């Protein structure tokens, strides 16, 4: 997989990556996990897999690139 290709991930994998960026789980209601980092809030659906458009939007809202997300996903 190239560094800029959007991965297929589950909600739990996305939460793990965003936690590495300093987000903390604020709460969960049903299948939606709310993460916060100061004023920034992300709502991650706990689905497997998360829809590609949702994944791309959450990566953008977190302020990182797809390549950075892939690096964090692989543990770099």
**Token pair listed for 18:** 């965003």
Is this prediction's pTM over 0.75? yes
pLDDT of residue 52: 94
For 4, 26, 39, 70, 73, the CA distances from 47, given in Å and listed in that order, are 22, 18, 25, 19, 17
Average pLDDT (42-59) is 94
Q: Count other C-beta atoms under 10 Å from residue 35's C-beta.
A: 23
Domain regions of the chain by residue span: 11-73
Fold classification of 11-73 (topology level): Metal Transport, Frataxin; Chain A (3.30.920)
Rounded CA separation 15/10 (Å): 9
Question: What letter does residue 5 receive in the DSSP assignment?
Answer: S
pLDDT of residue 4: 80
């Amino acid at each position: 997989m190239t560094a800029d290709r959007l991965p297929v991930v589950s909600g739990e994998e996305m939460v793990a990556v965003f936690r590495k960026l300093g987000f903390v789980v604020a709460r969960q209601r049903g299948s939606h996990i709310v993460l916060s980092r100061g004023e920034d809030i992300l709502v991650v659906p706990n689905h497997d897999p998360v829809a590609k458009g949702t994944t791309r939007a959450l990566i953008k809202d977190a302020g990182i690139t797809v390549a950075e997300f892939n690096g964090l996903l692989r543990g770099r």
